[in-house]
Amino acid sequence: MFDGPQKLRALLKGGRLIAAPGALDALTARIIENIGFPAVYLGGNAMGLHLCAGQPMVTMTETVDCARRVLGGIEVPLIVDAGAGFGEPAHTHRAVRELERTGIAAIHIDDQPYPKRAHYHIGKGGLVPISEAVDKLSVALAARRNKDFLIFARTDALRVTKSIDSTIERCRAYAAAGVDALMVLDLAPEQAAAIRREVPGVPLAWFVSPATPAPSLKDLEAAGFQMALYPFNTVAAVVEAVTSTWAELHTNGRLAQSPATNAKLRDSVQHLIGMPTYWEIEKRGADDTGKGTR
């Protein structure tokens, strides 16, 4: 049986940078896996956009449902955004139990206030006191049944305060609580050394605004990051492709896609989702007319 938490822990111990592109749904997760990436990321913004609700409005039950659906399409570890833990520590305890039960490998919990505000997406984020964030993380760590299940701490301190010292203070506190990795929003490669120096021994994940150019994997690895998470790129690719396809039909009255391209992609997608397995099962039980042979 595939053990996502155990596999992700092994990858982290391997010493190589783990790139985990963000998925929008099970199909895009399967595409990411099929390309060859060792892990997949499911961000809160992607879930909110998928539901046409917005990240601040996504609930715990919606997150659990999305995680279960995406994980059902892949066999590599899935890392899931658990927001600010969906409430106070007691709520976070339940959220950890429910998300762990899906079989995902890891979650991250941030230090934003809860409930989240829509203004976060226009640059007006906030932070809870360090003691409050540590309390929530400590409860989350104690709540997990499988000790291989990973819990990451994400801090928005660098974006909100613009202070690397304030960010380091929070990273120290979260590392002391026992988290399995640290995520510092908007941390650039040239700033990573300060975090690594002051908080050694805890894996560091790169996680940044989609408006910022992404460094190469080589540069991220050289800076000391052990994971790279890409929350929005798949969403952007899907929106761009779908808009382009149907705007052409709406404007010109004709699809720009060729039948040959559609046929090729239709065949590749059928293979991608595993349809040959079902075709083979049906082939063993029916003749060419579709009538059973048994």
pLDDT for the residue 257: 87
- For the chain, what percent of residues have pLDDT higher than 70? 97
pLDDT for the residue 210: 78
| Residues in the chain, pLDDT under 70 | 1, 286-294
Q: Name the residue type at position 34.
A: N
Note the pTM of the prediction, 2 decimals.
Answer: 0.94
pLDDT for the residue 118: 87
For residue 263, the SS3 value is helix
Give the domains, in start order, of the chain with CATH numbers.
Answer: 4-232 (3.20.20.60), 240-285 (no CATH)
The tokens of 58 are what?
Answer: 């996504």
DSSP 136: H
**Pairing mode, strands 150-155 and 181-185:** parallel
* DSSP run (H or E) holding 106: strand 106-110
For residue 282, the SS3 value is helix
Per-residue pLDDT reduced to its tens digit, 80-114: 999 999 999 999 999 999 999 999 999 999 999 99
pLDDT for the residue 1: 60
pLDDT for the residue 293: 45
CB 73 within 8 A of CB 35: no
